Amino acid sequence: MMFISEYVSGFHLCKYFSTITRTWLFTLCWIINNDMEGKMNAMVLEQPGRPLKHQMVQIPLPAPTQLQIKVIACGVCRTDLHVIDGELTQPKLPLVPGHEVIGRVTLVGAKTSGFRSGDIVGVPWLGYTCGECKFCRSERENLCENGLFTGYTLDGGYAEYMVADARFCFPMPEGYQDAAAAPLLCAGLIGFRSYRMIRPEAQNIGLYGFGAAAHILTQVAKAQHKQVFAFTRDGDTKGQLFAIKMGAGWAGSSREDPPEKLDAAIILAPAGELVPKALKDIDKAGQVICGGIHMSTIPAFSYDLLWGERSVQSVANLTREDGSAFLKQIQLSPIKTQTTYFKLSEANEALDQLRKGKINGAAVLVME
């Protein structure tokens, strides 16, 4: 890549400028080059089970099919906890976590079209698929055998800059271009994929684990005239009040029985013991959708809980079509996220609060 200073330093151009003008141009070019090739702040995972380290690392430059993105904000997701705590066992190391990114395009790769500098984009968990395996060829790219994932096998958004495959970046619509939109890129997208697996006629929907994804899904479901039943940790009255505020018709402990049988349940907490509980709560032909990427061991349960054509299904990753459909949905029925903001350097504190269940809604790291 040739930078502006290389052109300015050429004799045929510089001879036309005064000394003052040349000095100004060289200063401007140094700033631009330093910003592109210099260092940036990042929170880095060096080893699972240890806190992230605040480091100065090289600003990445985009490959021909990539965008360089100046991060505006990055959501803090429970999946980040699974990566950092070692429950997801194959991270790239060292790793910059984060996969709920809102950012501004600063450089566009030479073989990339459809984006330009200044565009506001969202970067999700799914960061690359091969397009050739049996899953990609059958429109199931979320199961790609060679898939790569932002903030896990690709560096993510806990940094001032990042690069991402342009094909897997979403142009963000008006109204969803600031830090508050960051949770939509995973809590929203994975939640929406889980929600779309429910049969359209389902009316009573249980959400188990009322955090970032559930508070977004509740708004989507209410806009479609569904009845939401929210289940929280035992004794979490604050979380139950939050669920009612966001539109749930009933909220209680996951130990409690809902006042009506459910048509479907979405489990968003990583607690395997909720699977037999949700099966107990749903009606015949009901669905239990497990929306997390990691879950503790599911305890044994009797067949009668599953009988009656009840079903249990997991959700893996997302597709670009999920993202497009979700962004269209929230333009038709606007979503407002409940967010708690942290500085980039406070990422460990944000993760710890999420781990302890102290965040209502979503935590977001803000860069600017």
Average pLDDT over residues 114-118: 96
Please tell me what DSSP assigns to residue 126: E
Q: pLDDT by residue (tens digit) across 246-266?
A: 999 999 999 999 999 999 999
Helix count and strand count (H, E) for the chain: 11, 17
Q: pLDDT category, 366, cuts 50, 70, 90?
A: very high
Cα 81 from Cα 169, distance rounded (Å): 23
Is pLDDT at 16 greater than 50 in this prediction? Answer: no
Lowest mean pLDDT among 6-15, 145-154, 229-238, 351-360: 6-15
Peptide bond into 94 cis (omega under 30): yes
Helix (H) or strand (E) holding 223: helix 212-223
Is pLDDT at 17 greater than 70 in this prediction? Answer: no
What's the start-to-end Cα distance of the chain, in Å? 28
Is pLDDT at 34 greater than 80 in this prediction? Answer: no
Under 8 Å between Cβ of 63 and 111: no
Mean pLDDT (the chain) is: 91
Residue 275 is predicted with a pLDDT of 98
Residue 26 is predicted with a pLDDT of 41
Residue 31 is predicted with a pLDDT of 46
Under 8 Å between Cβ of 340 and 360: yes
Is pLDDT at 219 greater than 70 in this prediction? Answer: yes
Average pLDDT over residues 333-343: 96
Of 21, 24, 36, 29, nearest to 4 by C-alpha is 29
Global pTM? 0.87
Residue 32 is predicted with a pLDDT of 52
Q: What are the residues whose beta carbons fall under 8 Å from the beta carbon of 202, sequence distance 6 or more?
A: 226, 263, 264, 287
Q: pLDDT by residue (tens digit) across 294-314?
A: 999 999 999 999 999 999 999
Under 8 Å between Cβ of 81 and 358: no
